[in-house]
Amino acid sequence: MFPLKDSIKSNSFPILNTIIIVFNCLVFFYEVSLNRYQLSLFFIEYGLVPVKLFLPADVVSFGDKILPFFTSMFIHGGWMHLIGNMYFLYIFGDNVEDLMGHYKYLVMYIVFGVVAAITQVLLYPNSNIPTIGASGAVSGVMGYYFIKFPYSRVKTLVFIIIFVTIMEIPAVIFLGLWFLMQFLNGSSQLMYSTAGGVAWWAHIGGFVAGIAYAIYDKKVYVYKRNVQW
């Protein structure tokens, strides 16, 4: 399933969501300018490497342990990694920013990303593989959307064997199925004790954080005259 757009029109321009997308792209363009060796060092320094967090302070300083929790969510490993994350953020982030308010949205986006990173560290504390990407933060945005926009519908490109069709799927079903896929893949990864590849548990941690904050947040979206394709 590939989302094309949702049915909820924002009441305001998603300025910070747009800035986040642009900033992620700028960081990636910087990555592209690096050679392979420089890029490896960049990932190790600014990506989140769980095992580094448990090294003595004289080996890795406290600041160098904390900084990657924030910087890692703005680094991507390839074009598809970047495009996938930014596209989902573009689809779901505008409405979340509209409901939260601009500045709170930025704060919570970072909080979701940090919670996602912590989740990954707790599950794989001995991993020496850098965890990078906005997936955890974006998952938090999607978790918030899952709770706050139950009447939204997602126009979705659906692939059925050799057939392709477009369907309107309720957001709770689309995002619910998405989360189920993350959980099944994460459970499989744990079962086979592999830490490489996709950070499924970061996605799960971010999504749950988004749900938790949405339940705590009492703001309710007004749907009148705001639903359109």
Q: What pLDDT score does 215 carry? A: 95
CB-based contact 210:143 (threshold 8 Å)? yes
Question: What pLDDT shows up at residue 26?
Answer: 97
Confidence of residue 115 (pLDDT cuts 50, 70, 90): very high
Closest alpha carbon to 91 in 135, 141, 25, 132: 141
Higher local confidence (pLDDT), 168 or 28? 28
Measured from the Cβ of residue 169, the count of other Cβ atoms closer than 10 Å reads 17
Cβ count near 117 (within 10 Å): 25
- One-letter-per-residue 3-state SS of 50-115: HHHHHCCCCCCCHHHHHCHHHHHHHCCCCHHHHHHHHHHHHHHHHHHHHHHCHHHHHHHHHHHHHH
Q: Give the confidence band of 197 by pLDDT, cuts at 50, 70, 90.
A: confident
Any bridge partners for residue 73, and if so which? none
Q: Where are the domains of the chain?
A: 11-151+195-216
User: How many Å apart are CA 89 and CA 121, to the nearest integer?
Assistant: 23
Residue 35, C-beta contacts closer than 8 angstroms, at least 6 positions apart: none
Q: Looking at domain 11-151+195-216, what is its CATH homologous superfamily?
A: Rhomboid-like (1.20.1540.10)
Cα–Cα distance measured from residue 49 to residue 34, given in angstroms and rounded to the nearest whole number = 20
For residue 192, pLDDT over 80 is answered with no
- CA-based nearest residue to 20, from 69, 81, 90, 80: 90
pLDDT over threshold 60, residue 44? yes
Average pLDDT of the residues in 213-227: 76
Q: Is the pLDDT of residue 37 over 70?
A: yes
Q: Is the pLDDT of residue 193 over 70?
A: no
Does pLDDT of 228 surpass 60? no
Q: How high does pLDDT run on average in the chain?
A: 90
117-145 pLDDT, tens digit each? 999 999 999 889 999 999 999 999 999 99
Give the torsion sign (CA, 163, 174, 200, 91): positive
Read off the pLDDT of residues 3-17 as tens digits, 9 standing for 90 and up.
Answer: 888 888 888 899 999
Q: How many angstroms separate the most distant Cα atoms in the chain? A: 59
Q: How far is CA 189 from CA 86, 135, 163, 192, in A?
A: 25, 17, 30, 5
